[in-house]
């Protein structure tokens, strides 16, 4: 990962992890992402001067999108009880999820938990 990202963009590694975590949380199970992908992102972040806590916290911000994932078991129960189609439900909720993701990101940046640039 360190060889793929140019050194000039390495200072934005926290934000890069935030934007990797959104599709990562949607397309992968939590175990696959947090046990398989996150350790690689943490090691790459260390090379750019980020702490494991900062990268770990950045990876949590994409969890807003995980609730739209077909890998989340309770969604099937919800959809069967309401009679909704998964595709239409995902389209209806995507705007809300994007807004929640924006709030997560803004809060983390304002509080300094995920640095904008290092």
Mean pLDDT in residue range 84-100 = 94
- Name the one residue in this structure whose structure tokens are 């900062």: 54
**DSSP-derived secondary structure for 53-100:** HHHHHHHHTTHHHHTT-TT-THHHHHHHHHT--HHHHHHHHHHHHHHH
Average confidence score pLDDT of the chain? 92
What contacts 94, CB < 8 A, 6 or more positions away?
A: 68
Grade residue 52 by pLDDT with cuts at 50, 70 and 90. Answer: very high
Q: What is the rounded average pLDDT of the residues 1-11?
A: 82
The two tokens of residue 31 are: 């175990």
pLDDT tier at 5, thresholds 50, 70, 90: confident
- How many other C-beta atoms can be found within 10 angstroms of the C-beta atom of residue 32? 13
| Residue 78: C-alpha distances to residues 47, 83, 94 (Å) | 43, 8, 16
Q: What is the pTM of this model?
A: 0.87
| Residue 118 confidence (pLDDT) | 84
CA 70 from centre of chain: 16
Identify whether the C-beta of residue 5 lies closer than 8 Å to the C-beta of residue 44.
Answer: yes
pLDDT of residue 113: 92
């Amino acid at each position: 990962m360190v060889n793929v990202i140019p050194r000039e963009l390495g200072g934005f590694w926290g934000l890069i992890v935030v934007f990797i975590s959104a599709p990562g949380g949607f397309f992968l199970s939590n175990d696959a992402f947090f046990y398989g992908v996150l350790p690689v992102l943490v090691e790459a972040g260390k090379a750019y001067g980020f702490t494991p806590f900062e990268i770990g916290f950045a990876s949590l911000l994409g969890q807003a999108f995980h609730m739209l994932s077909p890998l989340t078991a309770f969604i099937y129960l919800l959809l069967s009880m309401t009679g909704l189609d998964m595709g239409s439900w995902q389209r209806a909720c995507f705007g809300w999820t994007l807004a929640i993701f924006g709030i997560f990101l803004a809060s983390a940046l304002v509080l300094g938990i995920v640095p904008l640039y290092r």
